[in-house]
Amino acid sequence: MDLHVKRVIMAASNPLPYVVSESARKRHIMNTAPLRYFLSAVMAGGLIAVVLVVSLLLGQALHLAGSPMYYAASAGFFGTALCTIIVSKTELFTSNVMYMAVGVLSRRVSWKELGKSWLLVYAGNFIGALLLALMYAQTGALAHLPADHLLFDVIAHKTHADSWAIFWKGALCNWIICLAVWVPLRLSNDMAKLAMTMLLVFVFFFSGYEHSIANMAFFSLSWFASSGVTPDWAATLHNLIPATLGNIVGGAIGVAALNFYLERDTLAEESTAVQGEVALARS
């Protein structure tokens, strides 16, 4: 069996070696083709925003119909964004936190490179969400939103919440989001992987947790709307700063550090298996 195929099969039961190799791949692209890395983050931010638009449309339609399931419908659809980002291998800040933290722990990535990656991806996600919101506004869809639209209701909750509450909601959010990336790596069936990702994203969205990049998309859409709640920079930063810090804690500590500690023995197993395959191939 081909060595690459065997490594893919091994990753299905041992996610850590795969995540370590991905962190090294991301580091290489960032250092050799930073514009490509940045544009990948721009695309991911746009994907978050475009799926969020559909989630809001779906939720608003059910809300107007008087259905109590309007928010569940929005939450159920939003997982499409993360599934698309995973399959397309674009750079989303929340999952990048996990990958680069594992890279540091495995010594594939330096602390300086971790900071560079987080800054590039965070900025790219913001630009992508903002550009998508701007394009969507040009269609006229944001020109006459009612003041009680679901978009403004969500933003009001996000900007009026306590900073400490936002931080912990951010930590819980990215703990779940990174698990939505990590747990499917243990599965071999593609449909099962997509289903697991969708279900875990539903958990974070329906619980009202704080995803810094999704929040960027919420705010960007509201800035181009002609009515309703339009947060200023102070209100925006009141949400984004603690949400981002919480996302870092949830992804870097709750998933990356914890799973690295729990599964680090699989790195030695994978290295031994690969060395054995190479020796066999040369014999």
Domain CATH code at residue 25: 1.20.1080.10
User: What residues have CB less than 8 Å from 234, skipping those under 6 apart?
Assistant: none
Query: Between vectors from CA 185 to CA 261 and to CA 84, what angle results, nearest 5°?
Result: 125
In whole angstroms, give the CA distance from residue 16 to residue 201: 21
What sign results for the dihedral spanned by CA atoms 180, 185, 186, 191? positive
Of 66, 23, 57, 11, give the one whose Cα is nearest residue 274. 11
Q: How far apart are CA 88 and CA 31, in angstroms?
A: 20
Cα–Cα distances in Å, from 198 out to 56, 75, 132, 177?
17, 9, 23, 10
Could you give the CA distance from residue 272 to residue 38 in angstroms, rounded to a whole number?
Answer: 35
Spans of the chain, pLDDT less than 50: 1-5, 272-283
What domain count does the chain have?
1
Per-residue pLDDT, 168: 98
Separation of CA 81 from chain center: 9
Q: Which domain holds residue 53?
A: 3-282
Q: What gap in Å lies between CA 26 and CA 124, rounded to an integer? A: 15
Amino acid 227: pLDDT: 75
Predicted local confidence at residue 230, as pLDDT? 83
What does the pLDDT read at residue 13?
A: 66
Q: What b/e sequence results for 231-254 when a residue is b if at least 16 CB atoms lie within 10 Å of its CB, and e otherwise?
A: beeebbebbbebbbbbbbbbbbbb
The C-alpha atoms of residue 121 and residue 37 are separated, in whole angstroms, by: 8
CA distance 262 to 70: 39
Q: pTM (2 decimals)?
A: 0.90
Residue 183 DSSP label:
G
Amino acid at 23: S
The whole-number pLDDT of residue 12 equals 55
CA 279 to chain centre: 39
